[in-house]
Structure 1
Amino acid sequence: MLVFEPEAHMVTASQLRAGMAIRFEGNIYKVMAADYHPGQGKMGGTTHARLKNLATGTLWEHSFRSDLKLEDLAVEKQPMDFLYSDGEACYFMNPETFEQVSIPAAVIGQQASFLQPEMRVAVEFIEGRPVSVQFPDVIEVRIAETAPPAHQQQDSTWKTAKLENGVEIMVPQFLKTGDVIRLDLETMKYMDRAKSGEKKRS
């Protein structure tokens, strides 16, 4: 009996967009960013992509010929609740089926330190395997420790602040210990002070 493999869905490098997943040279990558640069004259265009290896968590930047064909992999997202981390992996549970899955902490990256028990996130699956976590773009987090406010300092000066999960970032001088701020998780940069002043609980 002949078994036919499903035909791979191919895209050209010029079609790459953030959030897609591709197979390249035997590895599966998530596209974190992609910029297409048209060529001049007879020179073909190129696509500069920032990729994340979903087996190791390593970030990699590469320029593809715009007409290069790449295998486009379907990404399935399932809402799941974070359970715990043992340092090596983070564990999640489907709230409807109670199925549990794990993803290496190294693959999730520094954002793993912002996971809280029962926090609901979108876990991304490729070919039935959990490979990554989709976090909200912005989260609210409390400052656990920082130098006292220095209002006389210029607004352009910043200071170090340790967040409640131990991560250190740079914040403006006027902030104090206990303040709740909004943080851009992609860049790990301070955005502004949370309007409510109280951290929203999931």
Structure 2
Amino acid sequence: MLSTTEFHEGLIFEDENGQLVEILDYQHHRKSQARAVVRVKLRNIHTGALIETAYRPEDKFKEVDVEKRPFTYLYTSGDRATFMNSNDYEQVEVPLEKLGDQKKYLKDNMEVTGLYINNQLFSIDLPIKVPLKIASTVPGVKGDTVANMTKEATLETGTVIKVPLFINEGDTVLVDTRDGSYVERVNA
């Protein structure tokens, strides 16, 4: 059993309702004469819903066996993406709907992480920042150096993002896979 003293960010456990949740943030609170509580911001693993709640220090929770394994993205066929386990070369198909918005940033031979819960593949996590080439964009005009001005650019994966005016076709940029935002231009 898991107690609140063992909480840390990223911990996955089964809450009192039997739901699998991940700790995003937590704080120990104690007001003068009141009992101590642990305020926790959680993410429901199945639905993605955010939950804010408080637990007493004596509350106990069921631990969940979580393992991360390295995978390589191979290809997409229809509504399924195929990944290869980098350790034993076993191939696994994952429905694209399970990847959510992350599917927009998949690139051949990309290294990803497979999250296993209770020895079953639960999800695929992409790196937070991914280098992608700009497939097309309107050319920047000399003198367009006003701060915070952006234009649309299509990535090699077909996804359209906003980039600064100085980014040109053929440039490689880092993209944040959590929100699809431009991070910086990189040399590739």
1:4 maps to what in 2? none
Q: 1:112 corresponds to which letter in structure 2?
A: K
User: How far did 1:65 drift?
Assistant: 0.8
Distance 1:183 1:13 in 2: 36
TM score, norm. by length of structure 1? 0.75
Matched, 1:27 2:19: yes
1:75 shift after superposition: 1.5
Report deviation, 1:52.
4.6
Change (3 A) 1:90 1:11: farther
Contact persistence 1:29–1:53 (CA under 8 A): yes
Instruction: Note the 1:43-58 alignment, pairs <5 A.
Output: 44-49=37-42, 51-54=43-46, 58=47
Equivalent in the alignment of 1:155: 147
Q: Give the residue type in structure 2 aligned to 1:23.
A: E
What are the ranges of 5 or more consecutive residues in structure 2 without an aligned counterpart? Answer: none
Aligned sequence identity (%): 25
1:135 aligns with 126
SS of residue matched to 2:101: helix
Q: Which runs of 4+ in 1 moved over 4 A?
A: none
Superposed counterparts of 1:15-94, under 5 Å = 15-18=7-10, 20-24=11-15, 25-31=17-23, 33-36=24-27, 38-41=29-32, 42=34, 44-49=37-42, 51-54=43-46, 58-67=47-56, 68-94=59-85
* Structure 2 counterparts to residues 171-186 of structure 1, below 5 A: 171-186=163-178
The alpha carbon displacement at 1:154 in A equals 0.9
- Show the counterpart of 1:3: none
8 A contact 1:183–1:189 mirrored in 2:
yes
Structure-2 separation of matches of 1:126 and 1:101: 15
Task: Flag structure 1 segments of 5+ consecutive residues without an equivalent.
Answer: 1-8
Task: Tell me the C-alpha RMSD between the 2 structures.
Answer: 2.6
Aligned residues: 182
Q: Deviations over 1:79-115 (max 9, x none)?
A: 2222223343322222443322233322322112322
Q: Which residue of structure 1 lines up, in the alignment, with residue 117 of structure 2?
A: 126
SS at match of 1:107: helix
**TM-score, normalised to structure 2's length?**
0.80
Q: Residues 132-173 of structure 1, C-alpha deviation per residue, up to 9 Å, x if partnerless?
A: 223222211111222221442412212222211122222111
